[in-house]
A and B are shown apart, each in its own frame.
Chain A
Amino acid sequence: MPTIFILFLFAAASAYIARTEKQIRVSALVFAILGGGSSLYLAVMRLLVSPYTPVSGWFRADMYTWFMIALVSFVYITATIASVRYTGEESREGLLTIEKLRVYFFSIPLFILAMLVSVLANHLGLLWIGLEGTTLTTTLLVALYRKDASIEAAWKFIMLCSIGIGLGMIGMLMFVHAGVVAGLNVFDAFSYSTLRTSAHLLDPASMKLAFVFLLVGIGTKVGFVPMHTWLPDAHSKTPSPISALLSGVLLNVAFFVLLRCKVLTDLSIGSSAWSDHLMIGFGVLSVVVAAFFLLQQRNYKRMLAYSSVEHMGLMGFASGLGPVGMLALTIHAVFHTLTKSALFFTSGEILLSQKTTKIAGIKNLMKKTPITATLFLLGILAIIAVPPSGLFTSEFMIVGAGLQSARGLTLVLLLALTMIAFSMLKSTTSMLYTADDGVVEHTHKEKWTLTHAVVIVQLILIVVLGLFITTAPVLDFFKSISQSI
């Protein structure tokens, strides 16, 4: 991994070494394929061939870690390919100068590196640096266009996420203090692995208090309601490939960190019931609030952002449902990542062709840009869990497990999910099929783009994986990942 980390640093540096816009884009693509490809290959090999778990003072890698690395690396590659097309078009239109392009391709590899450090970190201090690093490396991307709305979004993003991660740091330090009180030396008390093996020695009351700080702090980064307010603004104001990275993988990375903290708390308390209740509560609240915001949504990028709040809520709910819930959330993470990133890539194509993010401003898209419109529709169907999308399987498992342990809340969740499906379909059909008021002349046919190719690959993966997800070997594979955390 250290060699791959160095590749990411080279990738960032190349944005300032390259002279022309074309060179910047090509070098970013080459480094994404090299760096992202290597880490993806390594992660897949670890997952399939040798589930080796190296542990050191600084880094730790269980199967779930490799699973997260695979997701991050995959979306890094697809987002860079989509970025080449997206930034090329925006540069032609004069929206991106070469300086902004440098900032764009400088920040992406550092952002990916920060996420990889966060998922690999065993030392809690390093974990905090990685998490805060993800905020810092994306702030300039949120503010890239330097318009009033993007500056406002970036300001909210950095302030809320930094405060959240600051509160998370207090929680982590409480873990460390509990370790020191239990007799560990300071360096060992900072080690997640050591804390885990000594969990039975840690004071349950301190661990509970620490988890509350972590839930509120890292929950801000996850996008749990009511700490979610930065998310729709930031995700809707960034360039679409970055929104794909933020929604598709960053939220999952933060959720993974929260899960690790939950496991540690559960081990010290001796039961998961206490933290399960908290996760279920935040999960249901997030889904319900997202449902109401989606009901009156007027901006399709914000619609996708609120859908991310909903899916993080679903994953939170699932994490409180025991082993079945953990399996469901692992499956959910894969399909949410693939689907949401594909949807944001497609939304970028819509923005490039229609020049607006307002739902009311887009009409008859199926006729104007049939390829993009079809891909967007397929993505929306997948995200609202229409089979064969794997989200159907994961949500079916979540509802099944929920009805056994929290019947009332599961019914509320089902109602909210129905509202969300209805709202998203209504907005999508309005964009795709509403007739134009005036007569529109079609002067050119929609061209096939790199982004379309990326989205189609992701949609094929969603369908193929969705069909195979219920087979015994694939399910066992996901089960072993979910149990490894």
Chain B
Amino acid sequence: MISLSLWNNIFMGGTLLFAIVMMGMPRLPAMLRFFALSSLCLAGLIVTSSLMKGDEQPYAIAIINIVFKVILAPSILFFAARKVRASMALKFYLRPTATYFAALLVLLISVFVSLRMPGVPYLSIALVLLGLVFMMVRKDLYSQIIGFMTMENGIAAYGVLMIGGFPFMIETGILFVVITGAILMAILSRHVQELYATGDTESLTELTE
């Protein structure tokens, strides 16, 4: 019988592992799939952490997390890309191998930071930094959105691990705001695709001093 604590660790590991694997994915569907898996593990983490803290009803928050982050966000991005016939091959500054090396460095830095700052959990720092690095090493707009949402997963992980989660109304509000942001970003990326016939951020260079 696997204990609750072990499940908790498995979900923590899964959230991080899938986020790392996602970073090297060269195609949009694969990237979205690994983001969804990482978010699913985060939902599992919410359940196990809440049960370990004695909450009897942690499922509602986990379910809305799954609806918003595992189902809605990846679907919206995928269909937005398909609607404008965007290329499913993503563009990057760093090749997947080099990206994984960068992810490894991020993990090491996260260990260092969490040791220096005991109030900040390792998983949370790692996800926020991975999200930021992902946005830096990728050129395409969809990766930017997923990088931002990975950061948001890091913030949610902080809430779960350090404070025991958010009140239900606030969690719903935050997820609603995050999904609205993702929809707006998808709309903008569609416009960029239509205007420039590419989803490459390097095409956005008109506004300079």
Residues of A bordering B, CB below 8 Å? 123, 125-126, 128-129, 132-133, 135-136, 139-140, 143, 146, 148-149, 151-156, 158-159, 162-163, 166, 169-170, 173-174, 176-178, 180-181, 186-187, 189-190, 203, 206, 209, 233, 237, 293, 296
A158 and B119 contacting across the interface, CB-CB below 8 Å: no
Chain A residue contacts of B170, Cβ below 8 A: 123, 125-126, 129, 190
A233 and B195 contacting across the interface, CB-CB below 8 Å: no
Q: Name A177's closest neighbour in chain B (CB-CB).
A: B162
Chain A residue contacts of B185, Cβ below 8 A: 155, 158-159
Asked if B206 CB lies within 8 Å of chain A CBs, one says yes
Q: Select which of A133, A166, A181, A190 is within 8 A of B155 by beta carbon.
A: A166
Q: Which of B61-69, B84-92, B144-152 contacts the other chain?
A: B144-152
Instruction: Give residues 113-139 of B contacting A (CB, 8 Å).
Output: 117, 119-120, 124, 128, 132
Chain A residue contacts of B209, Cβ below 8 A: 293, 296
B163 and A180 contacting across the interface, CB-CB below 8 Å: yes
Q: Select which of A126, A140, A186 is within 8 A of B184 by beta carbon.
A: A140
Contact pattern, B 140-172, Cβ under 8 Å of A = 1, otherwise 0: 010010001001100100110011101100100
Give min CB distance, B188 to chain A, whole Å: 5
A152 and B158 contacting across the interface, CB-CB below 8 Å: no
**How far is B49's CA from A454's CA once the two chains are assembled, in angstroms?**
56
A136 touching B188 in the complex, CB below 8 Å, given contacts A173-B159, A209-B119? no
Q: Is the interface of B mostly helix, strand, loop or mixed?
A: helix
Chain A residue contacts of B148, Cβ below 8 A: 159, 162-163, 166
**How far is B124's CA from A177's CA once the two chains are assembled, in angstroms?**
14
Q: Which of B36-44, B96-104, B173-181 contacts the other chain?
A: B173-181
Closest 7 CB pairs of A and B: A125-B170, A152-B204, A233-B207, A129-B173, A177-B162, A132-B177, A149-B206
A155 and B141 contacting across the interface, CB-CB below 8 Å: yes
Q: Name A149's closest neighbour in chain B (CB-CB).
A: B206
A166 touching B152 in the complex, CB below 8 Å, given contacts A129-B177, A186-B163, A206-B119? yes
Q: Name A124's closest neighbour in chain B (CB-CB).
A: B170
Q: Select which of B128, B167, B196, B206 is within 8 A of A187 by beta carbon.
A: B167
Give min CB distance, A113 to chain B, whole Å: 13
Q: Name A293's closest neighbour in chain B (CB-CB).
A: B209
Q: Name B209's closest neighbour in chain A (CB-CB).
A: A293
A170 and B155 contacting across the interface, CB-CB below 8 Å: yes
Chain B residue contacts of A180, Cβ below 8 A: 162-164
A155 and B181 contacting across the interface, CB-CB below 8 Å: no
Asked if B192 CB lies within 8 Å of chain A CBs, one says yes
**Interface band, chain B:** 35 or more
Asked if B82 CB lies within 8 Å of chain A CBs, one says no
A148 touching B163 in the complex, CB below 8 Å, given contacts A143-B188, A166-B151, A170-B158? no
Q: Select which of B124, B158, B163, B207 is within 8 A of A149 by beta carbon.
A: B207
Q: Select which of B132, B162, B188 is within 8 A of A173 by beta carbon.
A: B162
Q: Name B173's closest neighbour in chain A (CB-CB).
A: A129
Q: Name A169's closest neighbour in chain B (CB-CB).
A: B155
Identify 19 new A-B residue pairs, CB closer than 8 A, beyond the known A132-B181, A155-B192. A125-B167, A125-B174, A129-B174, A136-B184, A139-B184, A140-B184, A140-B187, A148-B195, A151-B188, A152-B192, A152-B206, A155-B185, A155-B188, A159-B185, A166-B152, A173-B155, A173-B159, A174-B119, A177-B163
**How far is B33's CA from A128's CA once the two chains are assembled, in angstroms?**
29
Asked if B191 CB lies within 8 Å of chain A CBs, one says yes
Sampled A-B contacts (30; CB under 8 Å) = A125-B166, A128-B174, A132-B181, A135-B181, A136-B180, A136-B181, A139-B184, A140-B187, A146-B191, A148-B206, A151-B188, A152-B205, A155-B141, A155-B188, A155-B204, A158-B185, A166-B152, A166-B155, A169-B155, A170-B128, A173-B155, A173-B163, A177-B162, A177-B163, A178-B119, A180-B162, A186-B164, A187-B167, A203-B119, A296-B209
Give min CB distance, B141 to chain A, whole Å: 7
Chain B residue contacts of A159, Cβ below 8 A: 144, 148, 185
Give min CB distance, B133 to chain A, whole Å: 13
**How far is B118's CA from A203's CA once the two chains are assembled, in angstroms?**
12
Give min CB distance, A106 to chain B, whole Å: 14
